[in-house]
Structure 1
Amino acid sequence: MIPRIENDGLTLDFEEVIEPSKNYKLIPDKNRCFGFVDEIEAMKQAIFLMLSVERYDHIIYSWNFGAEFKDLFGKPVSFVASEAKRRIREALIQDDRINEVDSFVVTTHKNKVHIQYTAHTIYGEITAEKGVEY
């Protein structure tokens, strides 16, 4: 017989609060931070950073942060196209503010695969593009 506990003394007297996404504004082309961004602009910046950092290469970042693209060099273009889609989705879904990543459009140009996608976040939809060399 398995014992049953009707009331374990814990009550649900709390509510979940979503923290603001305010962050410093990055200006990548000038290698500067200036001002602040929030909500949808902060999400665009977070997506850019997640896909710009190679996962497992930098000890400053958690192993849940970043994407794995460097091992795709030298692989066939069909493999790179399908694998890059999966890796982009996998990297972005780690963020709790991103609900889904879909609508992938893959094009190839010279030695680069361009992947356009839509990230559905709690702030709205973001359409972005990532280039992966092969």
Structure 2
Amino acid sequence: MIPKGSINTELEVTEDVETTRTYKITRNKIQGITDEIEALKQAIYKVLNTEKYEHPVYGFSYGIELESLIGKDSTYAQIELKRRIQECLLQDNRIESVDNFKFEAKGDEMICTFDVQSIYGEVEINKEVNI
């Protein structure tokens, strides 16, 4: 038997938007839920404080290599730090750019300040690194 009628050939495409809601971590404790810019700040903090290849629970692309900068010349460390920060943060599709790097050396530490432009707005991040 051949069906009578027609088949609707026009498909409606819908796009699911992933939420950024996640657990809020405060002083090493989970305390509620956060999303958007605050969730992004937390994700940036986590990736910049996770040594790459150190923890088997994370994939090889997660984290940043900082230990290999210890004992290096400060100019080399600045160039590499900028590249490594951009490399690890730009993997997040919420982040559009990482720029305006400023470095301040204090003894055997370097304080790196930079701006992250995201789909939620701009945020300034500080990261201390042993060199």
Please, what is the CA RMSD of the aligned residues? 1.5
| TM-score of the superposed pair, with normalisation by structure 1 | 0.85
Cα displacement (A) at 1:14: 2.9
Equivalent residues in 2 for 1:63-102 (5 A)? Answer: 63-102=60-99
- TM superposition shift of 1:46: 0.4
Who wins on radius of gyration, i.e. which is larger?
Answer: 2
Distance 1:79 1:93 in 2: 21
Partner Cα distance (1:93, 1:13) in 2: 32
Sort the Cα spacing of 1:44 and 1:12 in 2 relative to 1 into closer, same or farther, 3 A: farther
Secondary structure of the residue that 2:41 maps to in structure 1?
A: helix
2:23 match: 24
What percentage of aligned pairs have identical amino acids?
Answer: 38
- Aligned pairs for 1:1-80 (under 5 A) are 13-27=12-26, 30-80=27-77
Q: Secondary structure at the match of 1:50?
A: helix
Give the letter aligned to residue 22 of structure 2: N
Deviations 1:2-35 (A, max 9, x none): xxxxxxxxx98534322110011111xx321110
CA distance in 1, matches of 2:65, 2:38: 24
Gaps of 5+ in 1: 1-10
Please, which runs of 5 or more residues in structure 2 have no aligned partner? Answer: 1-9
1:114 aligns with 2:114: no
TM-score between the two structures when normalised by the length of structure 2: 0.87
Q: What is the CA deviation profile of residues 79-122 of structure 1, one whole-angstrom value per residue up to 9, with x for unaligned ones?
A: 11111111111110011111110011111111111110011111
SS at match of 2:77: helix
